[in-house]
A and B are shown apart, each in its own frame.
Chain A
Amino acid sequence: MKLTSTKFFRTFSQPLWGNNPVSIQSLGICSALAVTVQLKTAVVMGISMTVVVAFSSLLISLIRNRIPRNIRIIAELIIIATLVILTDEFLRAFYYDISKQLSVFVGLIITNCIVLGRTEAFALSNPPHLAFIDGIGNGAGYSAALIMVAFIRELLGSGKFFGLKILPGIFYTAGYEDMGFMLLAPSAFIIIGLMVWLQKTWVKNDTK
C-alpha cells in the first residue's frame, strides 16, 4: 500500500490542504486574523493552537468510552480550557513578549470552532493515535493559513520578515512606501478571501 493512501497519512494531510479548516471549512477564523500582523505572533499562535487541538483530541479520544453522553460538551470544554490555560501560563513564563502581544487571543482558542469541532466530529469516534494525528493535521492546516496571511501582511505592511527588514533601502529611496493598510483589520479579511478563491480553484482542478 502506498504511504499516501493509508488512513494515517490521509488523516494528517486532508486538513492541511484539501480540507483546510480555515480556508475551506471556514472555521476558526475568529482568533486567526488579529494575530497575523507579524509572522512571529502568527507562528506562536499556530503552535499553541496545534498543541491544544492535538492534545485535547488525544485526551478525549482516550476517555471517549467513559464520558457520559449528557455532559459530553462541558467535559470537552473543561479539557480544552485546561490545556489552553496551561499553554497561556507557559507562554507567559517563557515567552513574555509574545504573550503580551497575543493578549487575549490565546484564551480565545477555547472558543475556536476547530478545537471543539475536531473533538466532537473526530476524537469521539476514533482511536487515540488517529485522533492525535488529526489534531496535529488540523492545527498545522490552521497554522499554514495563519502564516501565509501573516507573511503577506508583514511583508507588504512593514517590509519585514520575522521582524527583520528585508526590503532593501533602495526601494524606499525610489519612492516605495509600506502599505499601512496591510496592518489594519480589513486587509486580513480581504487576503483570506483571495486565498480562498485561489485554493478553491486549485483544489477543484486537482480532483478533476
Chain B
Amino acid sequence: MKKQYETVLILTPVLLQEQVDEAVAKYRKFLADNGAIIVHENNWGLRKLAYPIQKKNTGFYFLFEFQADPTLVAKLEIEYKRDERIMRFLTIALDKHAVAYNERKRKNAAQKKQEEAVN
C-alpha cells in the first residue's frame, strides 16, 4: 500500500553544481529503482540558513515528493545518513490535507505561470 511522503534535503554549499545534480540524480534513481513514484521535485537552489549547520551558512535545498511503501523510507534515510554531501534531511508522511494542499499549490503556480506567459 503506497503512502505519500515528502523529503527535504540540504546539501553542503561546497559542492559544484554538477555534484549537486549528481547527488540528486542518485536519489531519484534510488527511488525509481525501489518502485517509488516521484510526484514532484522542487529545487530551491542555494539558500541562506537560519543558523549555521556544520559551520556553513548556506545550503542547496531540494524537495522530493513521492509515493512509496512505508518500508522504503527507512532504507532511504540510511542512504541519506551515509551520504556526507547531505547536511540535513527531513522526511514527512503526508496526510490527505497535506496532499491536497500541495496539489492546490502546484495548480496555482502553473496557472500563474500561464498568466505570465500570456501577458
Are A and B physically bound partners? no
User: Footprint of B on A, CB under 8 Å?
Assistant: none
User: Footprint of A on B, CB under 8 Å?
Assistant: none
